[in-house]
């Protein structure tokens, strides 16, 4: 490397940043929905990037050699996708419970209650 000759190619910070950021950006761009609100798409960006960086960092030390890069890539993609799944699940849970907040159940005519 010409700009930083003292940094080895298998440095943890270099590998996590150079793999996690592009993977997170790619997965974020793949999940952007044009029909969704701007808040939804904006919230997914930092969450996807954080998930990719954490996933890459967790998988970096899983092996040695070239396999380190492969597991880092896999960890970044799994982390970013897991972050998006968590966001979608939380959003669905919130919308489901907000719709049911004012609902009251009425007894059906002809049925008696069990005690």
What is the per-residue pLDDT for 58? Answer: 92
What is the per-residue pLDDT for 65? Answer: 80
Domain range for residue 67? 12-99
pLDDT per residue, tens digit, the chain (115 aa), is 566 677 776 778 888 999 999 999 999 999 887 787 777 778 888 999 999 999 999 998 888 888 888 999 999 999 999 999 998 888 888 777 666 556 565 666 666 655 5
Is 25 domain-assigned? Answer: yes
Is 34 domain-assigned? Answer: yes
113 DSSP 8-state letter: -
Instruction: Please give the tally of structural domains in the chain.
Output: 1
Take residue 80 and report the two structure tokens written for it.
């970013």
CA neighbours within 13 Å on the CB side: how many for 83? 25
């Amino acid at each position: 490397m010409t700009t930083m000759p003292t940094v080895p190619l298998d440095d943890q910070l270099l590998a996590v940043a150079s793999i996690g950021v592009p993977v997170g950006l790619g997965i974020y761009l793949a999940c952007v929905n044009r029909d969704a609100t701007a808040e939804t798409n904006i919230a997914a960006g930092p969450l996807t990037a954080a998930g990719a960086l954490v996933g890459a960092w967790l998988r970096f030390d899983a092996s040695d050699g070239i396999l380190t890069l492969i597991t880092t890539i896999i960890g970044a993609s799994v982390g970013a996708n897991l972050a998006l799944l968590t966001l979608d699940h939380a959003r669905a849970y919130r919308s489901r419970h907000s719709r049911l907040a004012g609902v009251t159940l009425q007894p059906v005519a002809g049925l008696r209650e069990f005690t």
